[in-house]
Amino acid sequence: MLRLRSMGAVALGVSCMALLPRQAQPAPPNAPTAPSAVPTGQKVTTTAPRPAGQTPAPAPATPPAASAATPPAPANTVEGARQGVVVVQRQGKPLALGVVLEADGRILTALSPLTSGNFLNARYADGSVAPLKLVHSDRAWDLALLAPAPAAGQTPRKAGLRAARTPSFVGLQAFTLAPPTTITAAPQALKLSPGLLGGDAASLAGAYELGTKPAFVGGPVVNAEGEVVALVARACPTPSNAACVPSPYGAPISALKQFLQRVPAEATWLGVDAATEDAGGVRGVRVVSVVPNGPASVAGLRPGRDAAQADIIVAVDGSPVTTPSALNEAVRARTATDQVELLLFGMGRYRTVSVKPRPAPQLTVPPAFTPKPPPAPTPNPYR
């Protein structure tokens, strides 16, 4: 999986579709020689002698499931990588490919095909579809980060593959879309570019030229182990004129890491005001108040002035919390698509409540200094 850091542990996940057949490897010098082939049309059978009059036992039947079963593709191959490549579309029309971030679920793709960034959704390898929201972009490298919003009851997709630890240019594969929704893999080649210009005429140091330019950008370039080497985006050659039409290029892993490190963290929020509590042998965080219709209110957390009336949050996902700051850190380590298990103590008993955090509301902060309007001029009585 492609492990990148974006305000925490963020990893880039990818996948691809068809694993091309590998060439047969020559046998070692001391390997035993295989028996000669049977001539075409000649049937050879080998049977053990049996006593006269004995009926041969019937051959065991092969279970249908066993004979039809296909072993799953290894996760560290090009075929296994396909599961992390998605089709980014608008109203059913494909716009680009995208790569799932491992252990995160967000999708990295190219910015230029998305236009306004509205009304997008992702089609996964199994055919399921989830709406998308544009959360971060970079015009220079033509990169975009999209956050999926799975439907109620739908499991968030967080599987992916890792980035190549060292650049590799052997056995590279890139991806494209075969109509209507099939993602296919094809050989690709990368060559360090002498110079490319991105959005706003930014110089793209370390960018790659592609041996073959795919019809859809946003997909990954992976090595033979299914590790990501680059992401296909668009840029202009150097020198470029005003009439340049950006064409596909390979954004290197270093650029992807820098892009994800600049993604602003989206704070998650329970909607509680809390205070440290240590009463009756129970240590935790007392719920002082809850925001109406907030996550804590919907989950039924009880606020109160003291431990006799309020719920005390003892642990978050099994980890004890004893201060409001520890509670905030534990909640903000989750995403808005996660379920948080709270261990509560209230009304003399323990209970567990599942809460789904939400993105923290945007607060409008008044300016530190607001200039006062000038006073109205005093009328001149001598005029």
Pick the residue with more confidence: 63 or 231? Answer: 231
Count of Cβ atoms closer than 10 Å to residue 295 Cβ: 21
Least confident piece of the model among 1-5, 97-101, 124-128, 158-162: 1-5
SS (H, E, C) the chain: CEEEECCCEEEECCCCCCCCCCCCCCCCCCCCCCCCCCCCCCCCCCCCCCCCCCCCCCCCCCCHHHHHCCCCCCCCCHHHHHHHEEEEEECCEEEEEEEECCCCCCEEEECHHHCCCCCEEEECCCCCEEEEEEEEEECCCCEEEEEECCCCCCCCCCCCCCECCCCCCCCCEEEEEECCCEEEEEECCEEECCCEECHHHCECCCCEEECCCCCCCCCEEECCCCCEEEEEEEEEECCCCCCCCCEEEEEEHHHHHHHHHCCCCCCEECCEEEEEEEECCEEEEEEEEECCCCHHHHHCCCCCCCCCCCCEEEEECCEECCCHHHHHHHHHCCCCCCCEEEEEEECCEEEEEEECCEECCCCCCCCCCCCCCCCCCCCCCCC
Least confident piece of the model among 170-174, 220-224, 379-383: 379-383
- What is the C-alpha to C-alpha distance for residues 195 and 49, in angstroms, rounded to an integer? 77
* pLDDT value, residue 236: 92
Pick the residue with more confidence: 129 or 179? Answer: 129
Q: pTM value?
A: 0.56
CA distances to 24, 37, 40, 326 from 226, rounded to whole Å, are 20, 36, 40, 39
Residues 127-131, mean pLDDT to the nearest whole number: 91
Residues 179-202, mean pLDDT to the nearest whole number: 89
Pick the residue with more confidence: 240 or 150? Answer: 150
Record the tokens describing residue 182, joined without a space: 């099939």
The pLDDT > 90 percentage for the chain reads: 39
Least confident piece of the model among 32-41, 68-77, 138-147: 32-41
pLDDT at 220 over 90: yes
- CB within 8 A of 287, min separation 6: which ones? 272, 273, 274, 296, 301, 302, 303, 304, 310, 311, 312, 313
* pLDDT value, residue 322: 92
Give residue 74's identity as a one-letter amino acid code: P
Residues 18-31, mean pLDDT to the nearest whole number: 39
Pick the residue with more confidence: 111 or 17? Answer: 111
pLDDT at 81 over 70: yes
* pLDDT value, residue 382: 55
List beta partners, residue 222: 173, 228
Least confident piece of the model among 142-146, 165-169, 209-213, 379-383: 379-383
* pLDDT value, residue 383: 52
**pLDDT band of 228, cuts 50, 70, 90:** confident
* All domains in the chain, ordered by first residue: 1-20+74-265 (2.40.10.120), 268-359 (2.30.42.10)
pLDDT at 22 over 60: no
Alpha carbon 244 to its chain's center:
32
**pLDDT band of 35, cuts 50, 70, 90:** very low
Residues 161-180, mean pLDDT to the nearest whole number: 83
**pLDDT band of 341, cuts 50, 70, 90:** very high
